[in-house]
């Protein structure tokens, strides 16, 4: 089933006219190692996790599978060391303090940690992220940190306004010539996101099925 689901999601990606390369991130939070292995067997190698403690066992168990791990959840300051040591990408950096901690706690031998700044594109009080007006000052400092590579932006838009928000994100990233990544779009709106320039889409349920909370 996971193999069929992956093929269907990939066909949705390919059905959208786009010039940029788009990477599918399989959101594997709460999923078992066996489910992730099934996705790997079907050719999936990028996985997204929201919870550090849950992810560490998976990363350790699957360390020989040549996977790319993306941290996509909210970041608590006391969890930055574990994220810096175990992930390849972090999509949810929402303040300078977190960027500084990730840089200072990243082993230089691992290479730079790729990070995306999370943008609160719709200025929603219930969501984390930088406001557009705060971006220039903060990213000028972030891009100078030694052990991280600032690659672009991420957003989780209000579903009622996603098309306009995705367009605004594309305009935003185009203002900075050194940025090349835009993480936006999930199961319900990945086509819209890709049309407007997403380079990463994050899909969970449409790959793994509905979660069981029993």
Task: For the domain made up of 2-208, give the CATH fold.
Answer: TIM Barrel (3.20.20)
Inter-residue contact 46 to 70 (CB < 8 Å) = yes
Looking at residue 204, what is its pLDDT?
A: 96
pTM: 0.96
Instruction: Map the chain to HEC letters.
Output: CHHHHHHHHHHHHHCCCCCCCCEEEEECCCCCHHHHHHHHHCCCCEEEECCHHHHHHHHHHCCCCCCEEEECCCCCHHHHHHHHHHCCEEEEECCHHHHHHHHHHCCHHHCCEEEEEEECCCCCCCCCCECHHHHHHHHHHHCCCCCEEEEEEEECCCHHHHHHHHHHHHHHHHCCCCCCEEECCCCCCHHHHHHCCCCEEEECHHHHCCCCCC
Q: Dump pLDDT digits (tens) for 78-132.
A: 999 999 999 999 999 999 999 999 999 999 999 999 999 999 999 999 999 999 9
Check residue 9 and give its pLDDT: 98
**pLDDT for the residue numbered 210:** 83
Please give the backbone phi and psi of residue 173, each rounded to the nearest 5 degrees, phi first: -65, -30
Residues of the chain with pLDDT under 50: 214
């Amino acid at each position: 089933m996971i193999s069929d689901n992956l093929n269907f999601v990939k066909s949705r990606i390919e059905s959208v006219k786009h010039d940029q390369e788009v990477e599918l991130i399989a959101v594997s939070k709460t999923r078992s190692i066996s489910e992730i292995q099934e996705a790997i067997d079907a050719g999936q190698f990028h996985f997204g996790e929201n919870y550090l403690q849950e992810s560490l066992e998976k990363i350790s168990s699957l360390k020989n599978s040549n996977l790319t791990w993306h941290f996509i959840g909210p970041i608590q300051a006391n969890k930055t060391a574990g994220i810096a040591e175990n992930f390849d990408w972090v999509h949810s950096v929402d303040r300078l303090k977190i960027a500084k901690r990730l840089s200072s706690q990243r082993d230089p031998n691992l290479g730079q940690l790729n990070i995306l700044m999370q943008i609160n594109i719709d200025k929603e009080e219930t969501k984390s992220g930088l406001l557009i007006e705060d971006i220039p000052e903060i990213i000028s400092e972030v891009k100078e940190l030694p052990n991280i590579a600032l690659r672009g932006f991420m957003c989780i838009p209000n579903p009622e306004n996603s098309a306009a928000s995705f367009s605004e994100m594309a305009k935003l990233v185009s203002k900075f010539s050194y940025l090349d990544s835009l993480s936006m779009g999930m199961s319900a709106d990945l086509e819209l996101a890709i049309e407007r320039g997403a380079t990463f889409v994050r899909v969970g349920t449409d790959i793994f099925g509905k979660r069981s909370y029993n």
